[in-house]
Amino acid sequence: MEYTFTNAPVDLETLPDYQQLTYKTVSKMRLYKVWAILAIFFVLIAIGLYFLREATDVPMLIPGLITGFIIIFGLLFLYQFMLQKKLGYALRERDIAYKRGFLFEKITVIPFNRIQHISTSAGALDKIFKIANLNIFTAGGAGSDINIPGLPPELAARLKDKVANHLTEADE
């Protein structure tokens, strides 16, 4: 397997390396939002268990379920905590990279001149926690679209404008 890029006009070594990017992390508020959702579910399940306790007489069922749920939710909380550090985006002159995944680290790079359109969105909970999502769509289908969560709304809007400006620039 030797180097056979005989006619390439560029030196691979000197190309900007996407692995060397420094990724900006997303707002801590995202983590709090997800935790809040998890907490709500946890409370709902706890209430459910409370009523189940009155209705059932299977021995050790309730303690078993409680330990089970505590372990599951503990893992989910921990997972989100670890995930938070792994979420990040990096903007370059001509493309945007988005990194996510704790067990499966995944980086998607989209060149600006391949972006179809771009939008910001914020759900009801996002608004409470004052964050927004930046969605970038390409023609490559769902696999290559990215959705960056947990951005401060004004930053999301600014990013959107910045990328959108690049879009029109890239076309000219």
Residues that bind other proteins (CB under 8 A): 1, 3-8, 10, 12-13, 15-19, 94-95, 101-124, 126-127, 137-145, 157, 160, 164-165, 167-168, 171-172
CA–CA gap between residue 120 and residue 151 (Å, rounded): 10
CA–CA gap between residue 20 and residue 25 (Å, rounded): 15
Closest CB to other proteins among residues 50, 81 = 81
**Minimum distance of other proteins from residue 23's CB (angstroms):** 13
**Minimum distance of other proteins from residue 41's CB (angstroms):** 19
**Minimum distance of other proteins from residue 40's CB (angstroms):** 16
Residue at token pair 């985006």: 89
Residues 6+ apart with CB under 8 A from 113: 94, 167, 170, 171
Closest CB to other proteins among residues 43, 169 = 169
Q: Count the Cβ atoms, other than its own, within 10 Å of residue 28.
A: 12
